[in-house]
Structure formats: structure tokens, C-alpha cells
């Protein structure tokens, strides 16, 4: 965006109908970020950037067929939940495109594709598994978890052997422990604000979880974790900017 103009939108207009990749970028910028919760917006962006755009990027949006989307869906059969989310995101993207006049209204190449059956499984960790996981978190935040280097790559010789360990930040370790002790979803912990924590009653009062308002009863280990954390901002698990939440646990 420069001087009030959107170069990407202008380029799309000049070319006519956008490609699937261009439509995806418009969909995220103009609709998803404004209308969806941060966690949902991140899910949409990930599915589009990692799955949809690499497979269908240069196809004109109005030329995308059900056969192409069906093949993409079928290629993800090993991850049925993710495959079905692809259909949902593509369908939502085309609903936006129709309203925006980018494709004929009612166009949806994801319509009519049979979804994979999703079997929900619930499993609780055993005592030994909990002990091993706790030990792994302690190791990760102290000595660090070793990682391997592909010795066949030219850059491998430049990586000092003594530095081939990854230590996670205290906030990441705390988030992992809270996930383990509370059973909360990832976003519920990463976006947890101190104002939602009631130490006196031993509860979390989540005003806007995926299932609506939610109360989580805290056990002793969860309370112990919360009591050890320093309050450096509004969020229990702050990001690099203390005023913002941590966005993921993919980095240390």
C-alpha cells in the first residue's frame, strides 16, 4: 500500500480476473484479517500459503475447476482434517470473490466434493508419558534439545558442534506446561491475559474461546506455573513485544 493505492489490487484490475494466488492474497488482506479471529486468520493464511497457492497459484480464479480442487483434496488423504479445511477455506474464499465481483457470484469449485470422514479421538497421557514430557521440557529450557545437521550439505561444516542444541524460552516452556496441565487449546493459552486468571478461585475465565465463554478449573501444577511467571505485560505468555501475545510455539 503506497500513497493510498493498493499496487496488488491495481495490478489485478489491469490484468482482469486474478489468479488463485492473487485472489488468496486479496481474501486474506481484505476479508480474513478484518472478519476472523486471529487464530482462525492464521489457519486460513497457513492453508492458503502452504497448500492452495503452491498447487493452484497460476490458475485464473474463474477457471479453477472442481476436478482440480478435488485432486488437491484427495492428495491430502493422509490428513483428513486438514484436507477438509482446505475445502472450507476455498469455499469461503470464493464466496468473498463473488461478493467482490472477482468471479461470477455463486462460483465455488469446492462445492460438491465429498469430505473425508474425521474420527475424533480422545486419549489421556499415562503417568510415564507425563513424566517423560515434563523431563523433555526441563531439558529444553536448561541444557537444550540436540538437533541434527545434514552433513551432506556444504553449510554443515560451518555449524559448531557445541551449538547444536536448541533452548526454549521460559515463556515457551510455561505455555507447554499450561497446555499440559489445563487441557486448553493452543490459542487459549497463547492469548491468555492476566485479567482472565482468578488465583483466589483457581480458575481461568476465557471470554472468547472457540466454544464461547469458558471456565477452566486450575489444578495445583497449573497454578504453580502461573505463580512463577513474571508479569511483564497483559499476556501470560508474551511475545517479543510484551504488549503482544506469543503467536506460536514453532520457534524457541
Average pLDDT over residues 197-213: 84
Q: What is the mean pLDDT of the chain?
A: 85
Indicate yes or no: pTM above 0.85.
no
Helix (H, G, I), strand (E, B) or coil at 11: helix
- Residue 16 forms part of a structural domain: yes
Strand order in the sheet with 212-217: 197-198, 203-209, 212-217
Cα angle: 242, vertex 43, 15; to 5 degrees: 110
Are residues 148 and 87 located together in one domain of the fold? no
Are residues 143 and 214 located together in one domain of the fold? yes
Helix (H, G, I), strand (E, B) or coil at 51: helix
C-beta separation of 209 from 185 below 8 A: yes
The domain that holds 27 is classified in CATH as: 1.10.150
Is residue 206 within a helix (H) or strand (E), and if so which, with residue range? strand 203-209
Q: How many domains does the chain have?
A: 2
Are residues 74 and 27 located together in one domain of the fold? yes
Are residues 13 and 94 located together in one domain of the fold? yes
Eight-class DSSP state of 110: T
CB atoms within 10 A of CB 12: 19
pLDDT at 217 over 90: yes
More confident residue, 226 or 134: 226
- Residue 202 forms part of a structural domain: yes
Are residues 69 and 135 located together in one domain of the fold? no
pLDDT at 235 over 80: yes
What are the residues facing 198 on neighbouring strands?
Answer: 203
Q: Domain boundary residue among 60, 83, 99?
A: 99
Sign, CA dihedral 40-43-49-54, equals negative
C-beta separation of 97 from 107 below 8 A: yes
- Residue 238 forms part of a structural domain: no
Are residues 138 and 224 located together in one domain of the fold? yes
Average pLDDT over residues 178-185: 90
- Residue 247 forms part of a structural domain: no
Assigned C-alpha cell, 34: 478484518
- Residue 248 forms part of a structural domain: no
- Counting residues of the chain whose pLDDT is more than 90, the rounded percentage is 53
Q: Domain boundary residue among 99, 118, 143?
A: 99
- Residue 106 forms part of a structural domain: no
Helix (H, G, I), strand (E, B) or coil at 208: strand
Confidence category of residue 151, pLDDT binned at 50, 70, 90 = low
C-beta separation of 180 from 133 below 8 A: yes
Are residues 69 and 137 located together in one domain of the fold? no
Instruction: Give per-residue pLDDT as tens, 105-136.
Output: 999 999 999 999 987 666 667 778 878 888 88
- Residue 62 forms part of a structural domain: yes
Q: Domain boundary residue among 99, 115, 144?
A: 99
pLDDT at 225 over 90: yes
- Residue 210 forms part of a structural domain: yes
Are residues 158 and 213 located together in one domain of the fold? yes
Are residues 44 and 135 located together in one domain of the fold? no
Q: Would you report the helix, strand and coil content of the chain in percent, each value rounded to 5?
A: 50, 10, 40
- Structural domain range at position 64: 7-99
Average pLDDT over residues 154-158: 58
Are residues 146 and 210 located together in one domain of the fold? yes
Are residues 196 and 153 located together in one domain of the fold? yes
Confidence category of residue 36, pLDDT binned at 50, 70, 90 = confident
Are residues 74 and 161 located together in one domain of the fold? no
Amino acid at each position: 500500500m503506497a500513497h493510498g493505492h493498493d499496487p496488488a489490487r491495481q495490478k489485478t484490475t489491469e490484468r482482469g480476473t486474478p489468479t488463485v494466488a492473487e485472489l488468496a492474497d486479496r481474501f486474506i488482506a481484505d476479508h480474513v484479517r478484518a472478519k476472523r479471529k486471529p487464530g482462525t486468520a492464521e489457519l486460513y493464511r497457513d492453508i492458503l500459503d502452504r497448500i492452495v497457492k503452491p498447487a493452484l497459484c497460476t490458475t485464473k480464479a474463474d477457471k479453477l475447476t472442481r476436478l482440480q480442487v478435488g485432486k488437491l483434496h484427495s492428495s491430502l488423504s493422509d490428513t483428513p482434517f486438514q484436507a477438509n479445511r482446505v475445502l472450507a477455506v476455498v469455499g469461503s474464499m470464493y464466496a468473498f470473490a463473488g461478493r467482490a465481483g472477482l468471479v461470477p457470484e455463486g462460483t465455488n469449485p469446492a462445492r460438491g466434493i465429498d469430505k473425508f470422514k474425521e474420527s475424533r479421538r480422545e486419549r489421556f497421557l499415562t503417568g510415564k508419558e507425563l513424566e517423560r514430557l515434563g523431563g523433555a521440557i526441563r531439558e529444553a529450557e536448561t541444557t537444550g534439545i540436540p538437533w541434527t545437521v545434514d552433513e551432506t550439505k556444504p553449510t554443515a561444516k560451518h555449524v559448531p558442534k557445541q551449538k547444536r542444541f536448541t533452548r526454549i524460552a521460559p515463556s515457551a516452556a510455561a505455555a507447554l506446561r499450561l497446555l499440559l496441565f489445563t487441557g486448553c487449546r493452543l490459542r487459549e493459552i497463547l492469548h491468555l491475559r492476566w485479567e482472565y486468571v482468578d488465583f483466589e478461585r483457581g480458575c481461568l475465565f476465557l471470554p472468547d474461546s472457540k466454544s464461547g465463554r469458558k471456565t477452566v478449573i486450575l489444578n495445583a501444577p497449573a497454578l504453580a506455573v502461573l505463580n512463577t511467571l513474571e508479569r511483564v505485560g497483559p499476556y501470560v505468555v508474551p511475545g517479543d513485544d510484551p504488549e503482544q501475545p506469543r503467536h506460536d510455539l514453532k520457534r524457541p
